[in-house]
């Protein structure tokens, strides 16, 4: 976009991650319009000059690019496909980017509905948690047309570092669910390994430091392990959203003829945690179950 005016950007979903992502876009000079179901969460951005809008449809009608980062597939479907929603009110030629983790089928449906109105749509879920959002180092997994990928890249490079197009609409969601399947097994291993170490009388902090550089090392162990030992279960990514993602992954795997026992085990444990009051914890809150404490 060198030498051209930056497009106006609408950002819907100013939560733990969305607020930081939108802030980076403002830092890069994009004119921002924002909406969140709880308007108070937009206050920091509004104080910086973002225009607060009354509805997702209002954001869409006033923006060249619309980015969404909401909670659940039902929220995505509602804001995009409801009468007066994002697709219906989008400008011809606008680009709609859903960065929520949702389903391949819904992403493809939004793509088709948008195309019928002369609007481009794509799915670009992210991974990296609250830290990646704050640092602008998210991984962004894209599904959609090549031309839309090129168009979105300048925005993505403000919010993330590892950016990849995986194929047509819906492919970004499939890639994100694969990511969540990997994390599910990893988090089980981190929590069970640390629980075993503590129960056996080891210095669990020393264990993390020692094994993190070997085959047991992982981002989850290095970043969540120290938080676990401090009893810090604040959300970088909510348990309730991880349960949603794992359920979507299980459904998608089943439709592909796969039975994923590790995913099933992780989902069972995380559902137990959510049902005992830990739905608003970060994913490292799973450790509460291994310490014998309900959430």
213: tokens are: 């550089």
Q: What is the pLDDT of residue 84?
A: 98
Rounded Cα gap, residues 150 and 82, in angstroms: 28
Q: Is residue 181 domain-shared with residue 161, that is, in the same domain?
A: no
**Is 2 among the domain residues?**
no
Which residue among the candidates 41, 161, 176, 261 is catalytic per the annotation?
A: 176
| Cα distance between the two ends of the chain | 48
* Per-residue confidence in pLDDT tens, the chain, 295 aa: 444 689 999 999 999 899 999 999 999 999 999 999 999 999 999 999 999 999 999 999 999 999 999 999 999 999 999 999 999 999 999 999 999 999 999 999 999 999 999 999 999 999 998 889 999 999 999 999 999 999 999 999 999 999 999 999 999 999 999 999 999 999 999 999 999 999 999 999 999 999 999 999 999 999 999 999 999 999 988 999 999 999 999 999 999 999 999 999 999 999 999 999 999 999 999 999 998 754 4
Domain membership of residue 295 (yes or no) is no
Residues 232, 219 share a domain: yes
121 touches 102 (CB < 8 A)? no
> C-alpha angle 25/28/32, rounded to 5°?
45
Number of domains the chain contains: 2
Q: What is the DSSP letter of 243?
A: H
Do 66 and 114 contact (CB within 8 A), yes or no? no
**29, 131: one domain:** yes
| Locus of tokens 């937009």 | 42
Count, residues in the chain: 295
Q: Give me the CATH number covering residue 91.
A: 3.40.50.720
Q: Indicate if 161 belongs to the active site.
A: no
134 and 22 in a single domain? The answer is yes
């Amino acid at each position: 976009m060198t030498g051209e005016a930056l497009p106006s950007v609408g950002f819907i979903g100013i939560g733990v991650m969305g607020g930081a992502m939108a802030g980076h876009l403002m830092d890069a000079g994009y004119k921002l319009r924002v909406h969140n179901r709880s308007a108070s969460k937009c206050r920091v951005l509004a104080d910086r000059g973002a225009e607060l809008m009354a509805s997702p449809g209002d954001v869409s009608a006033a923006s060249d690019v619309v980015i969404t980062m909401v909670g659940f597939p039902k929220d995505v479907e509602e804001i995009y496909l409801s009468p007066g929603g994002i697709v219906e009110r989008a400008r011809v030629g606008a680009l709609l980017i859903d960065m929520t983790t949702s389903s391949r089928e819904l992403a493809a449906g939004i793509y088709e509905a948008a195309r019928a109105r002369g609007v481009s749509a794509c799915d670009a879920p992210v991974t990296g948690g609250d830290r990646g959002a704050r640092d602008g180092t998210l991984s962004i997994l894209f599904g959609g047309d090549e031309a839309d990928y090129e168009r979105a890249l300048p925005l993505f490079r403000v919010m993330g570092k590892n950016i990849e197009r995986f194929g047509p609409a819906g492919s970004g969601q499939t890639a994100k669910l694969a990511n969540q399947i990997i994390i599910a097994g990893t988090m089980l291993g981190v929590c069970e390994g640390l629980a075993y170490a503590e129960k056996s009388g080891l210095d669990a902090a020393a264990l993390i430091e020692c094994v993190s550089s070997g085959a047991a090392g992982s981002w989850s162990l290095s970043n969540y392990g120290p938080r676990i030992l401090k009893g810090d279960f604040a959300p970088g990514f909510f348990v309730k959203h991880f349960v949603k993602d794992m359920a979507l992954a299980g459904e998608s795997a089943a439709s592909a003829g796969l039975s994923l026992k590790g995913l099933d085990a992780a989902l069972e444990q995380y559902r137990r945690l959510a049902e005992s009051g830990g739905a608003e914890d970060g994913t490292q809150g799973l450790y509460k179950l291994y310490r014998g404490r309900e959430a």
